[in-house]
Amino acid sequence: MLGRKARLIISSKLGELKMNLENNYKDLAHDALREYLEALEALKADNMINDRDYAKYHKIGMDYKEQMADYHH
């Protein structure tokens, strides 16, 4: 089960990523994706997220990474 703090961190980073994608800010979207994935790793290292939730949110990040593969200037 995801704790409140972990849920807030994930939703904040994911919201920032979505906002940058919606506004077509490609560089900021790449930065937000990197920060999202780093936050997931930090939560896992601190045992604030279990393996099942980590896998779920990591897949979301990988889906965005695949979607953003062609985002260049």
- The model carries a pTM of 0.90
Position 1 pLDDT exceeds 80 = no
Q: How many domains are contained in the chain?
A: 1
Across the range 50-65, mean pLDDT stands at: 96
Kindly state whether residue 59 falls inside one of the protein's structural domains: yes
pLDDT at 63 over 90: yes
Distance CA 27, CA 54 (A): 25
For 8-47, write each residue's pLDDT tens digit.
Answer: 999 999 999 999 999 988 899 999 999 999 999 999 999 9
Angle in degrees, CA 36, 24, 43, rounded to 5: 5
pLDDT at 71: 72
Quick check: is 53 in a domain? yes
The range of the structural domain enclosing residue 49 comes to: 4-67
Q: Distance between CA 62 and CA 73 in Å, rounded?
A: 21
DSSP string for 18-38: HHHHHTT-HHHHHHHHHHHHH
